[in-house]
Amino acid sequence: MYVICVYDVNEKTCVKVMKILRKYLFHIQKSVFEGTLTPKQFSVLKEELHKVTSDEDSVLFYFSYNEKQIYKEGLNKVNESLNILID
């Protein structure tokens, strides 16, 4: 499955969240990661993040089982080399 993760977490939690996400996904910009995961990897990722986040933190996942139907468009400063979607 193709996953996009965005987060808004406490400053003390931010480094921990980034380290976990970097193990599974590509860092796109400040609080955004994306990549392809198996359902098992997705489950493990959520478990790891749950251990380091609190009720005040926000971690959102957007996912699709068919990445060919996802389109990404950017404005201004966009690093096209990080675009891993298939057109």
DSSP single-letter state for residue 21: H
Q: Which residues contact 37 (CB under 8 A, 6 or more apart)?
A: 1, 3, 24, 25, 45
Is 8 known to sit in a ligand binding site? yes
Judge whether 23 and 72 are in contact, CB under 8 Å: no
CA proximity to 13, closest of 51, 66, 70:
51
Three-state DSSP class for residue 63: strand
- Residues annotated within the binding site are 8
- Residues annotated within the binding site for Mg(2+) are 8
